[in-house]
A and B are shown apart, each in its own frame.
Chain A
Amino acid sequence: MIEHRPMVTFVSHLVLIFGVAIIAFPIWITFVASTHEAARMVQIPLPLLPGDQFFNNLELTLFKGLQGAGAPPVGFMMVNSLVMALMIAVGKIAISLISAFAIVYFKFPFRMGFFWMIFITLMLPVEVRILPTFEVVANLGMLNTYWGLSIPLIASATATFMFRQVFLTIPDELLEAARIDGAGPMRFFVDILVPLSRTNIAALFVILFIYGWNQYLWPLLVTTDQSMYTVVMGIKQMLEAAEQSPDWHQIMMTSLLAMLPPVFVVVFMQRLFVKGLTETEK
């Protein structure tokens, strides 16, 4: 702060608190809805303060799921989401690390060709190649599998670019020192490069975990078997069922559960999250 103006500071805080309230209100309402019993959730006006049914609703939703929606228990769907998110995050990091390593540290034919192929993926989000990609996955027999859910999403130009950027800032002399010490390419990669990139790897993991967990359109296409549903998809199923019987206490509990892991990651790994976000977008 440059000058002492208590009034301006006060107004700033006021605006910020107001802003936080607007941002947090939907989440508060979600939480409140998840703490009441079904009967209370059909009486107008709906409550603004939490009730005492949180743990009942939690148990019901996690282990039984929503009756009538035809979806498996939410706990089950969360396991699917977790597996998918982890496969996407770990897979993306692994293949991006090694391809960036090859592109930065080796001289080989078609190097730039490969680089541009990877670059092009940046311009082809799932949304613009839905049908043909679906056909490929179907032909490979990967519908309703974890592989089908994750592999088509793990080629990522942004992660490769980020690692390329990180590797380019590592001084050449480290590679030279390692060569004089007798380290071959893979040894250098494992002993020097990966340890030096670990904060970037962690930051990227945070971003990619959220990305993987929140996937919607793709799981919607490749899973028809209920045993493969993810929790984010499950919400949509429930909303459809809500047209007939509005079990909002359970739908909102599911929403809460669906946002919990990624929100947890963002809030408690904030430093890594911010780093990951700002560096992948460069």
Chain B
Amino acid sequence: MLKRVHFGSSWLPFALVAPQIIITVVFFIWPASQALYQSLLVEDAFGLSSEFVWFDNFIELFGDEHYLGAFQRTIFFSFSVAFLSMSFALTLAAMADRVIKGATTYRTFLIWPYAVAPVVSGALWVFMFDPTLGIFTYTLGALGYEWNHKLNGGEAMFLVIVASAWKQVAYNFLFFLAAMQSIPKSLIEAAAIDGAGPTRRFFSIILPLISPTTFFLMVINVVFAFFETFGIVHAVTQGGPAKATEILVYKVFNDGFIGLDLGGSAAQSVILMLIVISLTVIQFRYVEKRVEY
């Protein structure tokens, strides 16, 4: 990772890494260690005194059914988002890989949701499903279904899942298509000569060969759903109704900034940190292993 030939200046390299290291320490490592420290404290309501309580905050969290509920909800939410957007993207990528004419045109039309901010995506979907005016609400009403995600928790969850998955389709599509296009044509031709039709080829050749990409995307989508959907939830449901869409990231924000429970919020932050760390480790261990053609 170091060049065979390198410079040996005394102060220059320190000056070069300084900006990044200073920002990293001040805004990343110091706050993270503060979160670690605070997670072991309990403060009174006015923030005047604090007491060192070891792991009480964590014990309390895992005894709190609201927190456990948020945990389960987040897992359900994340995997639903990953499954929905990946299966949709995989289908489209498989089709785009087949058609030679127009593949790039389709790509252009399919990738722009990537550029839409989560909160904007939330605004778009909340508008279409607005309980009084929404175009889908109207359509569902005509079909005899009364939609109101402001009252119905299940509907609210469905809405945030769809808004999140919609945004992720672009990303998944790009990676699936790139993975499929990097499979050597000769392999597909060999399978065709062996008598495998398009469908069979997809399941017996293409799908196994892109499995590293699938796994990688799985991790990326779960990370996205865990951490980057704050804007969607904030715009669409604010965690409601009755906490039906309160996912972990939303709860950290809510308990810390609105509820001002510093110790509890810090403990939640620490748990989230552990989740990111384990997901990052998984991602790094697997991304290295690419399929050899």
Contacts and interface: CB of A to CB of B under 8 A. Distances in A.
A and B touch in their complex, CB below 8 angstroms: yes
Interface of A: 1-3, 5, 8-9, 12-13, 15-16, 19-20, 22-24, 26-27, 29-30, 33, 41-42, 44-46, 48, 94-96, 98-99, 101-108, 111, 114, 117-118, 120-125, 127-133, 135-137, 151-152, 154-155, 160, 164, 167-168, 172, 175-176, 179, 185-186, 210, 213-214, 216-217, 221, 232-233, 235-236, 239, 246, 248, 251-252, 255, 258-259, 262-263, 265-267, 270, 273-274, 277-278, 281-282
B117 A213 contact: yes
Nearest to A136: B31
A125 B276 contact: yes
B276 A267 contact: no
Given A98-B19, A277-B114, 11 more contacts: A104-B3, A106-B7, A117-B24, A125-B227, A130-B257, A131-B38, A136-B26, A185-B7, A214-B120, A235-B235, A236-B235
A155 B23 contact: yes
B20 A29 contact: no
A132 B29 contact: no
B280 A98 contact: no
Determine the main DSSP class of B at the interface with A: helix
Contacts of A108: 9-10, 13-14
Interface string B84-113: 000010011001101110100011111111
A106 B116 CA distance: 40
Nearest to A156: B20
Nearest to A117: B24
B114 A33 contact: no
A269 B48 CA distance: 53
A136 B120 contact: no
Contacts of B147: none
Could you say which of B8, B14, B124, B130 has the most chain A C-beta atoms within 10 Å of its C-beta? B124
B45 to A, nearest CB: 16
A252 B134 CA distance: 13
A148 B78 CA distance: 31
A278 B175 contact: yes
19 contacts: A19-B110, A23-B170, A45-B138, A46-B138, A99-B17, A103-B2, A108-B10, A120-B28, A136-B30, A137-B27, A155-B23, A167-B3, A185-B12, A186-B12, A216-B231, A235-B119, A239-B123, A251-B123, A277-B174
Given A98-B19, A175-B5, A235 B138 contact: no
B95 A263 contact: no
Given A105-B6, A117-B21, A263-B112, A131 B1 contact: no
Nearest to B189: A2
B128 A29 contact: yes
Contacts of B112: 27, 263, 266-267
B57 interface: no
A235 B27 contact: no
A38 B251 CA distance: 36
Contacts of B2: 103-104, 107, 111
Contact of A30 (B25, B28, B100, B124): B124
A128 B21 contact: no
A42 to B, nearest CB: 7
Contacts of A263: 112, 115-116
Contact of B125 (A26, A131, A246): A26
Q: Of A5, A44, A132, A179, which is in contact with the most chain B CB atoms at under 10 Å from its CB?
A: A132
B277 interface: yes
A106 B189 CA distance: 48
B169 A270 contact: no
Interface of B: 1-10, 12-14, 16-17, 19-21, 23-32, 34-35, 38, 88, 91-92, 95-96, 98-100, 102, 106-121, 123-128, 130, 132-135, 138, 166, 169-171, 174-175, 178, 188-189, 192, 198, 216, 220, 227-228, 230-231, 234-235, 249, 252-253, 256-257, 262, 265-266, 269, 272-273, 276-277, 280, 287
B183 to A, nearest CB: 12
Given A2-B189, A117-B24, A131 B256 contact: yes
A258 to B, nearest CB: 5
A45 B132 CA distance: 10
A174 to B, nearest CB: 10
Given A235-B123, A274-B174, A120 B29 contact: yes
A123 B13 contact: no
Contacts of B220: 281
B123 A124 contact: no
Residue among A44, A95, A129, A167 with most chain B CB within 10 A: A129
Nearest to A107: B6
A16 B276 contact: no
Given A23-B169, A255-B124, A16 B95 contact: yes
B11 to A, nearest CB: 9
Contact of A117 (B7, B25, B117, B178): B25
B27 A155 contact: yes
A160 B19 CA distance: 12
